[in-house]
Amino acid sequence: MECIPVTAASIERRVREQLNNKVSGIYVGLWLLVAEHLRLGTWDLLKTWSEKSETDIDSRISMQIIHESALCVNRVRRKNSVCHQGFDLLNGLPFLVTDEQVHLLLNKHSVSVTKQLQINLGKLRMANGHYNGNIIALDPHRIPTFSQRVMAKKKKKTKESAKKYLQTFFSLDAETGQPICFTMGSPGVSATKATKELSEMELQILPKSKKNILFLADTEHFTAELFNHFEKNSAFEILVPAPNTEKLKTLLKKISYKRKWAGYAIAQTDYFFEGIPKKYTLIVQRSGEKRENYQYKAFLTTGNPELSVKMLTEHYPKRWTIEDFFNFEGNLGWNRASTMNINIRYGKASLALIAQAVVSQLKAKLPCPYNQWTASHIAEQIFKAFDGDIKVKDDTIIVTLYNVPENLNLRYHYENLPQKLIRDGINPRVPWLYNFKIDFRFK
């Protein structure tokens, strides 16, 4: 970037000098993510997004943003931290870039360009088996912001006071619990518009051979426009809970129910949006054995009505995996919004998706119960927890971690890493670390 008065050659020289001198630092556990970046293909993603060469600094700045996200912190930049030895080298830089440099990088990438980054990431994750791609959960996620801009205030809960929020809309594989993509906008953007945008992104991510992909949504998605959109796409189906209006309450008590088991019955009827002749299927579940105890819940769907019981009892409960995702992974960067500049927010939150992908790959290697840790717990207990040092031997960076609990099983997965990567068909040389290989020692 123009604001950094150094050349790519001088940056590489300074990184090599620091590595040759041996570095003792913190955040040494974060170096484990290098292996996961190589497995995912992060560097090619960032080069494509930044439209820069192998030696350019933009992709390395992006690496710093990703690793800040993995640490579940707002930033670890120079004015906030002096104990950053090892963290800067991890990104292929001999220094930490500033807030201004980060903002300049993110702001020059439009939403459409960063959306393509999400699509490319989704394709890689699909190829790597991170998604089943059969059931997708949708959810609006409003992030509190302290922006000074004039904007509409909203309430997340009825009893709380209205606040300023950045609107985001996420889609997630409801079977694996992994995020697929998201979009965002001003406080006025509707769930219908955002969901149509998400579905178009998912058409590019999920294999064209996938059919009858079921989207699980909430009552904000109960609109004629959205159902018309899904009706036209033969690959997608949608299931949405109906709002509990007086008109609907009256209807639910009149229709005929078929008992499935004790305390549970199902009914189906046609439903028309006002002024629109198109017919959809309303599925109603009734719980309770006695009439005075009956409780009703209605859902509208474009799916096969013959699968109504399975949709309501097996599929729809999986929608709550998206709530687990925000609870477990939100600290990676989706629980705060320091600016309302959409280019910057979209870019930073999209890079957080890459952080989540590589952290989830690491978590998958941990034994139970450690693989159930939250993102912030992983950051505290692995990325920040161990003393260590970093040095170069021949063409390999050796990262030594001290006092690592054996029950984390990290030695098995990361010691002799170059050989393990070659065995998996992955080039063990790290391009943003100037084609050094990387290996780990545990003492």
Confidence bin at 356 (pLDDT 50/70/90): very high
What is residue 3's predicted lDDT score, i.e. its pLDDT?
Answer: 47
- pLDDT at position 176 over 90: yes
Per-residue model confidence (pLDDT) at position 187: 65
Task: Compute the half-sphere exposure of residue 45: CA atoms within 13 Å on the CB side of its CA.
Answer: 27
pLDDT at 274: 87
> To 10 degrees, the CA torsion angle through 226, 232, 234, 240?
20
**Coil, strand, or helix at residue 272?**
strand
Please compute, for residue 250, the number of CA atoms within 13 A of its CA located in the half-sphere on the CB side.
Answer: 3
The mean pLDDT value for 268-288 works out to 92
Q: Tokens 């950045």 correspond to what residue?
A: 166
Q: How far apart are CA 406 and CA 422, in angstroms?
A: 25
- Percentage above 70 pLDDT, the chain: 93
- In the Cβ-directed half-sphere of 207, how many Cα atoms lie within 13 Å? 12
More confident residue, 55 or 269: 269
Task: Quick: pLDDT tens for 409-429.
Answer: 999 999 999 999 999 999 999
Range with top average pLDDT, 38-47, 64-73, 381-390: 38-47
Of residues 73 and 396, the one with the higher pLDDT is 396
Residue-wise pLDDT for 139-163, tens only, equals 988 877 777 777 767 766 777 777 7
pLDDT at 1: 41
Three-state SS at 297:
strand
The predicted model scores a pTM of: 0.93
Q: Write out the two tokens for 407.
A: 């029950």
**Tell me, what DSSP letter sits at residue 303?**
S
CATH code linked to domain 112-329: 3.90.350.10
Nearest C-alpha neighbor of 391 from the set 12, 63, 15, 9: 15
Q: pLDDT tens, 62-110?
A: 999 999 999 998 665 544 554 567 888 999 998 888 888 999 999 999 9
Of the chain, the percentage scoring pLDDT greater than 90 comes to 68
pLDDT at 77: 56
Output 385 or 339, whichever has higher pLDDT: 385
Say whether pLDDT at 267 is over 90: yes
Mean pLDDT of 341-355: 93
Q: Which residue ranges does the chain devote to CATH 3.90.350.10? A: 112-329
Mean pLDDT of 167-173: 93
